[in-house]
Amino acid sequence: MIKVSKFNLLSVLLLLLGSVLFSTNGQAAIDTFEFDNAQQEKTFHELTKLLRCPKCQNQNIADSNAELAKDLRNKTYDLVKQGQSKEQVVDYMVARFGNFVRYDPPVTPATIFLWLGPLLFIIFGLLVLFKQIKKQRSKTTHLDDQEQQKLQALLQKHVKDTHS
């Protein structure tokens, strides 16, 4: 129980701090959303980080100040508040703006290379490596018949020379 009250105190302090910041910032673009529970809030924040603003190329809708990003934040809020799940909200946005709005693209024929590309690259590299190693090994160990005869002759000569 003590823990809970501590937690409450902390949140009150944070709220106070927040209100001070907000009032000094005046017109800063901070939307205030109220949620029924912590889970909803978490879902909302995850979604606004995950969803990409179609107008601004490379910003999520949490970061962007574009009019459209604001609209999408509001819509996301409405949908979350209605109790829709993360997937439902993402589906809603994808149905309207396409996969462009997702920062984690799904695996489709067009994007499969993003996953397979690096793997293929590694496999290709390993194949080349093994081939090289094999080649070098066979080069150092194998002598053809002529070379073998030459070697034997040399060895015999050497033996003879040392013994005489």
Partner 1 sequence: MLNKRRVLTLLIPFIIFITGAVFLATPLLKGSDPSKLDSALIGQAIPEFTLQDIYDENKQYDASILKGQKMLLNVWATWCPTCYAEHTYLNKLAQQGFYIVGMNYKDDRKKAIRWLKDLNDPYKISLFDKSGLLGLDLGVYGAPETFLIDSQGIIQYRHVGDLNEQVWNDKLLAIYEAMQ
Specify the length of the chain in residues. Answer: 164
Give kind and range of the element (H or E) at residue 111.
Answer: none
36 versus 91: smaller Cβ distance to partner 1: 91
State the DSSP code for 61.
T
Residue whose token pair is 């693209």:
105
Name which position in 67, 144, 145, 161 contacts partner 1 (CB under 8 A): 67
Which one of the spans 3-11, 49-57, 104-112, 143-151 is the region binding partner 1 (CB under 8 A)? 49-57
Give which of 12, 79, 13, 11 is closest to 51, Cα–Cα: 79
Binding mask 129-158 toward partner 1 (x if CB under 8 A, else -) reads: ------------------------------
Residues with Cβ within 8 Å of 79's Cβ and at least 6 positions away in sequence, in order, are 88, 89, 92
Residue whose token pair is 């590694």:
122
128 versus 143: smaller Cβ distance to partner 1: 128
Binding mask 75-94 toward partner 1 (x if CB under 8 A, else -) reads: x------------------x
Name which position in 45, 55, 81, 86 contacts partner 1 (CB under 8 A): 55
Contact predicate 146/153, CB 8 Å: no
91-130: contacts with partner 1 (CB under 8 A)? 94-100
By CB under 8 A, name the binding residues for partner 1. Answer: 54-55, 57, 67-68, 71, 75, 94-100
